[in-house]
Amino acid sequence: MKNFIVFIVLSFIGVGIVQAHPTSYEGGFSLMGEMSPRSKQLTFIYSPYYWLGLGAVVSEMRADEDDPKEESYIYGAQIGWLAKRWNLEEAQANLYFVGGPGWAVQKGLYENEGLVYRYGVQADYETRRIFTFVRFIEARYFKGHAVVDNKIDLAVGFAPYLAEFKELNSWFILEASADSEFEEVSFTPTLKFFYKNYLWTVGQSLRGATQLGFMVRI
């Protein structure tokens, strides 16, 4: 399934940490993508309720961006649950749980494939000026519970100016990503733009890796 059409699409649109919500507004749809030289991901979500997101996720990871032989793919269901939302006077905070079953294929040194389960947690806090975000996602095989992939994402940013919802909103963000063992950490200065139901990001890590991003809500 390496040539699955989703990856053809992803190769053109690309994404970094979008910091998008795992649920949409009630009755709404969300399409999100993430891409860096070592990973690509596309997620589609429908929310029958504002606190519940149901959909699918397709992802590709490389152990080494210069070695296409060391690859892993995950095709799975996506379930997002808004566990708690804090609507403060001048801020909002959210706590989400995400996960779902799927199928993984690993190629290279650790060749394997089979049913997997994904699980994770995500939280954010933002005002009109300040933005913070943290997310942990892990995928494991049902048989033997070996780890397929895991990742920790952190982000903090600020808005250089205040804008209304129907105007272009911009953010300067510093992102940090690592695996659960913190064996390899990358830092990426990023620009985030939000206009009505459209969000996109562009950044470049301190190692020179370009990251792009998008989210569309319908």
139-193 pLDDT per residue, tens: 999 999 999 888 899 999 999 999 887 899 999 999 998 876 667 788 999 999 9
| Residue 19 banded pLDDT, cuts 50, 70, 90 | low
Separation CA 81–CA 96 (nearest Å)? 5
Q: How far apart are CA 69 and CA 91, in angstroms?
A: 46
How many Å apart are CA 171 and CA 158, to the nearest integer?
A: 6
Tell me the domains of the chain and their CATH numbers.
5-217 (2.40.160)
Question: How far is C-alpha 154 from the chain's CA centre?
Answer: 11
Cβ burial 23-59 (10 Å sphere, 16+ → b, else e): bbeeebebbbbbbbbbbbbbbbbbbeeeebbbbbbbb
Distance of CA 191 to the CA centre of its chain: 16
Q: For 33-43, write each residue's pLDDT tens digit.
A: 988 877 888 99
Residue 110 pLDDT > 70: yes
Using alpha carbons, list the distances in angstroms from residue 209 to 33, 136, 186, 214.
Answer: 17, 21, 10, 17
Is 133 exposed, middle or buried, given 0-12, 13-18 or 19+ CB atoms closer than 10 A?
buried
- Percent of the residues in the chain that have a pLDDT greater than 90, as a whole number: 58
Report pLDDT for 67: 56
Round to whole Å and give the CA distance between 72 and 112. 9
- Enclosing H/E stretch for 98: strand 92-107
pTM: 0.83
